[in-house]
Amino acid sequence: MIGGALVRLKGWQQTAVAVGSAVGALLDPRRADLIAALGETTGKHAFERVLERMKSSPEGRAMLLERPRVISASVGHAWDLPSNTFGAAYANFMGSRSFSPDDRPPVRFMETEELAYVATRAREVHDFWHTLFDLPTNLIGESTLKVIEFEQMLLPMCALSVIGGTARFSEGQRKLFYRHYFPWAIRAGMRSTDLMCVYYERHFEEDLEDVRRRWGINPAPRPSTQPKAI
C-alpha cells in the first residue's frame, strides 16, 4: 500500500475533485494537498505512459518490483556520503532548507496500486531533480522545474503550475523567466534521459558530475543579471 487507502473516483467525481482542487490551489498556493489532488485527478493518462516506459527500462522495472520510497528511513545515509557524491548533494539541498523527505502528502486518487506508486515516485523524486539541475526553491526555480517535469511526463498539472506561478511573478521576474529559464528548461527536459526510469538511490555514492553527464543533465546557468527578490 502506498501511503494510505486509495480512493477510486467515478468520472464526475474526478472532475469535481479536479475543479475544486484547482480553485482552492489558486486561492491558496501553499495548499500542497490540493495541488497534489489536482495532479492526481488530471494526470492518469500521463502516469500510465510513464508506467509503460518504466516497464521497458531495467531500472524502471526494478523500481516497480521493489517500490523504493524517498523517505528518511531509506535515504538518511546520504548525509554521511563524501561531499562530491550525488547523495551528499541531495542531503545538502535538503538540509540547507530544513526540508524533510517525509513531508509530501500521500497519493489518494488512483485506480491501481501500480499507478499510485508511479504518481508517488514522480512526487518524491522532485527534490532529486532540484539537486541535479541546481534549481532553487523560489518561485522562479519551482516554475522552471515544472517546465522540465512537463517535458519529461506531460503532466497537465505541471503546465497549470507554470501558468499559476508566472501569474504571481513581478514584471522583472516574468522577463527573466521567459528570456532565460523557460527556453533553457525546454531544452533541458528534452535532452535529459528518461528521468522517471532512473533508480536514483542506487547512484547516491557516485560522483555528482558523473551522473549528470550520464543522464544528459546540465545545471541551470545563472543569468548575468537578476531582478531583486526572486
Written as tens digits, the pLDDT of the chain (230 aa) is 465 566 555 554 555 444 455 444 444 545 556 566 666 667 789 999 999 999 999 999 999 999 999 999 999 999 999 999 999 999 999 999 999 999 888 888 788 999 999 999 999 999 999 999 999 999 999 999 999 999 999 998 888 888 888 888 999 999 999 999 999 999 999 999 999 999 999 999 999 999 999 999 999 998 764 444 44
Q: Residue 201: what pLDDT? A: 98
Q: Residue 164: what pLDDT? A: 82
Please answer whether residues 205 and 87 qualify as being in contact, where contact means their C-beta atoms are separated by less than 8 angstroms.
yes
Q: Residue 222: what pLDDT? A: 84
Q: Residue 224: what pLDDT? A: 66
Q: Which of 96, 98, 120 lies closest to 108, judged by CA?
A: 120
158-166, long-range: CB < 8 A, 24+ apart: 160/22, 160/38, 160/42, 161/35, 164/25, 164/26, 164/29, 165/139
Q: In angstroms, how far is CA 203 from the centroid of its own chain? A: 18
Please answer whether residues 184 and 222 qualify as being in contact, where contact means their C-beta atoms are separated by less than 8 angstroms.
no
Distance CA 86, CA 188 (A): 19
Distance CA 207, CA 218 (A): 14
| 74 falls within a domain | yes
| 219 falls within a domain | no
* 182 burial via Cβ count (<10 Å: 0-12, 13-18, 19+): middle
Q: Residue 31: what pLDDT? A: 55
Contacts of 66 (CB under 8 A, 6+ apart): none
Number of domains in the chain: 1
Q: Residue 111: what pLDDT? A: 84
Rounded (to 5) percent helix, strand, coil in the chain? 65, 0, 35
Q: Residue 12: what pLDDT? A: 40
Please answer whether residues 74 and 68 qualify as being in contact, where contact means their C-beta atoms are separated by less than 8 angstroms.
yes
Q: Residue 11: what pLDDT? A: 53
Q: Residue 34: what pLDDT? A: 54
Please answer whether residues 176 and 156 qualify as being in contact, where contact means their C-beta atoms are separated by less than 8 angstroms.
no
| 135 falls within a domain | yes
How far is the first Cα of the chain from the last one, in angstroms, to the nearest whole number? Answer: 39
Q: Residue 43: what pLDDT? A: 77
| 223 falls within a domain | no
Q: Residue 23: what pLDDT? A: 46
| 224 falls within a domain | no
| 220 falls within a domain | no
| 136 falls within a domain | yes
| 181 falls within a domain | yes
* 111 burial via Cβ count (<10 Å: 0-12, 13-18, 19+): middle
| Residue range of the domain that includes 163 | 11-214
pTM across the whole model: 0.85
